[in-house]
């Protein structure tokens, strides 16, 4: 999955990856998506949304959380408190995905394994010629 990000105002790597994944996964999963970035919050997102990206199924009966994704950066993945944050985000029965910089997947797998965080998948991202790619 790759795309060029030229959205006005997006300057951090974290927010670029959040935006990319939200756009791509909304199309792939055919769902509504709320994001949590330094730039914006969707107006109908729960104020309690701690995860960077949440996919929702919306119907006349209400909204159902379908999946969640958290984007980490080189700096955040090295934070010793990151795992406790993941544990607070996890919602029973809702797939939880991590996105980490390329080369840090094994480190993330180790952290997840040691803390028994129920993760549905760990993806790596990288930038090549200003193009973000999720591997």
What range does the domain containing 72 cover? 2-134
pTM across the whole model: 0.84
Number of domains in the chain: 1
Query: Residue 72 pLDDT more than 90?
Result: yes
3-state secondary structure of 86: helix
Cα separation, 25 vs 14, whole angstroms = 16
96-126 confidence digits (pLDDT tens): 999 999 999 999 999 999 999 999 999 999 9
Mean pLDDT of the chain: 85
Query: Residue 8 pLDDT more than 70?
Result: no
Other beta carbons less than 10 A from residue 101's beta carbon: 21
* pLDDT score recorded for residue 49: 64
* pLDDT score recorded for residue 3: 42
Cα separation, 63 vs 95, whole angstroms = 16
Query: Residue 65 pLDDT more than 70?
Result: yes
Query: Residue 70 pLDDT more than 90?
Result: yes
Pairing of strands 53-59, 121-128: unpaired
């Amino acid at each position: 999955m790759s795309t060029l990000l030229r959205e006005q105002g997006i300057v951090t790597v974290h927010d670029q990856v959040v935006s990319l994944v939200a756009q791509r996964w909304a199309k792939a999963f055919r769902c509504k998506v709320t994001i949590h970035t330094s730039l914006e919050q969707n107006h109908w997102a729960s104020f309690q949304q701690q995860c960077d990206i949440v996919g929702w199924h919306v119907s006349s009966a209400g909204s159902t959380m379908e999946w969640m994704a958290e984007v980490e950066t080189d700096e955040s993945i090295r934070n010793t408190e990151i795992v406790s944050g993941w544990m607070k985000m996890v919602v029973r029965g809702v797939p939880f995905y991590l996105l980490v910089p390329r080369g840090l997947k094994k480190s993330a797998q180790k952290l997840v394994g040691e803390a028994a965080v129920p993760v549905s998948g760990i993806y790596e991202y990288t930038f090549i010629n200003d193009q973000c790619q999720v591997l």
